[in-house]
């Protein structure tokens, strides 16, 4: 595990984007696992800048997103499909049919989970999986539990997770109670994982995830078992590490 700490968000964004851009430059047919939320926005903005400057092209890239809320109307501003379109896909040359986000409005949600896994299994191995970190240690929407699902599955969101995401909605009552998420097993199949964490409020869970015991009660701690993890932290998020 390679842990890097940055004084500024600009430096963190630059390094994160450079890792992804270098991968795509080396292998134009890369498969990227992507994440949503506020954490990766700066990295996506830097990737857009590099694309606009002719430094990288995404026209042969395939992407799979980690997760999606269940029950938000198509085109809802806080759906993760809308997020990805607005924050990245609409600003680069990746064909939209090569971008994949779980369908949170599928008639049969369990069948959608199986279909998403099947689509990923018929694609090449994910070359890079981008992750954020929840306050309770969740990655994707894999919440702390006695056991964890390996594949894509339907999950009931913990109240802490819904509260953390309520800032994106008018009230917590509008935050969905369910989501579809890749399982930890699927995440760990990626050749490389980039974990990005920002903020003092994440410092304790960063320490627990990276230096604590490996346990399903902190799903991110399972990243310690992966052979190629790069962790990008601002100095506040790194504040409690030994």
Question: Cα(163)–Cα(19) distance, rounded to whole angstroms?
Answer: 32
Whole-model pTM: value is: 0.93
Question: Cα(20)–Cα(94) distance, rounded to whole angstroms?
Answer: 14
Residue spans per domain, the chain:
7-195
Q: What does the H/E/C string look like for 161-229? A: HHHHHHHHCCCHHHCCCEEEECCHHHHHCCCEEEEEECCHHHHHHHHHHHHCCCECCEHHHHHHHCCCE
Six-digit token pair at 112? 């959608």
Contact at 8 Å (CB) between 19 and 112? no
Q: Which of 8-17, 49-58, 164-173 has the lowest mean pLDDT?
A: 164-173
Whole-number pLDDT of residue 100: 97
Whole-number pLDDT of residue 242: 85
144 sits in which H/E element: none
Catalytic residue set = 67, 136, 138, 143
Domain 7-195, CATH class in plain words: alpha beta
Question: Cα(116)–Cα(104) distance, rounded to whole angstroms?
Answer: 11
- pLDDT at residue 157 greater than cutoff 90: no
Question: Cα(16)–Cα(176) distance, rounded to whole angstroms?
Answer: 30
pLDDT digits (tens, 9 = 90+) for 106-134: 999 999 999 999 999 988 899 999 999 99
pLDDT digits (tens, 9 = 90+) for 169-201: 888 888 888 999 999 999 999 999 999 999 999
Q: Which of 3-12, 46-55, 57-66, 72-81 has the lowest mean pLDDT?
A: 72-81
Whole-number pLDDT of residue 209: 98
Mean pLDDT of the chain: 95
Q: Which residues make Cβ contacts (< 8 Å) with residue 56, sequence separation at least 6?
A: 21, 24, 25, 47, 50
Whole-number pLDDT of residue 89: 98
Whole-number pLDDT of residue 201: 95
Contact at 8 Å (CB) between 141 and 104? no
Contact at 8 Å (CB) between 224 and 214? yes
């Amino acid at each position: 595990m390679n842990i890097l700490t940055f004084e500024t968000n600009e430096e963190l964004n630059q390094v994160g984007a450079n890792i992804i851009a270098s991968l795509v430059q080396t292998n134009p047919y890369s498969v990227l696992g992507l994440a949503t939320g506020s954490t990766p926005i700066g990295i996506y903005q830097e990737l857009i800048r590099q694309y606009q400057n002719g430094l990288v092209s995404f026209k042969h890239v395939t992407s799979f997103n980690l997760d999606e809320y269940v029950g938000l109307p198509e085109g809802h501003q806080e759906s993760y499909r809308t997020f990805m379109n607005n924050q990245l896909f609409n600003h680069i040359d990746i064909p939209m049919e090569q971008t994949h986000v779980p369908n949170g409005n599928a008639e049969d949600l369990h069948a959608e989970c199986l279909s998403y896994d099947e689509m990923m299994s018929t694609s090449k191995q994910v070359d890079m999986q981008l992750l954020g970190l929840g306050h309770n240690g969740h990655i994707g929407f894999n919440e702390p539990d006695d056991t964890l699902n390996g594949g894509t599955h339907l999950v009931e969101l913990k109240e802490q997770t819904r509260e953390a995401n309520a800032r994106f909605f008018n009230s917590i009552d509008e935050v969905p109670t369910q989501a579809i998420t890749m399982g930890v097993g699927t995440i760990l199949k990626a050749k490389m994982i980039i974990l990005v964490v920002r903020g003092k409020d994440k410092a304790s869970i960063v320490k627990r995830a990276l230096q604590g015991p490996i346990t399903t009660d902190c799903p991110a701690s399972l990243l310690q078992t992966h052979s190629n993890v790069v962790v990008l932290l601002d100095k506040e998020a790194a504040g409690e590490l030994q």
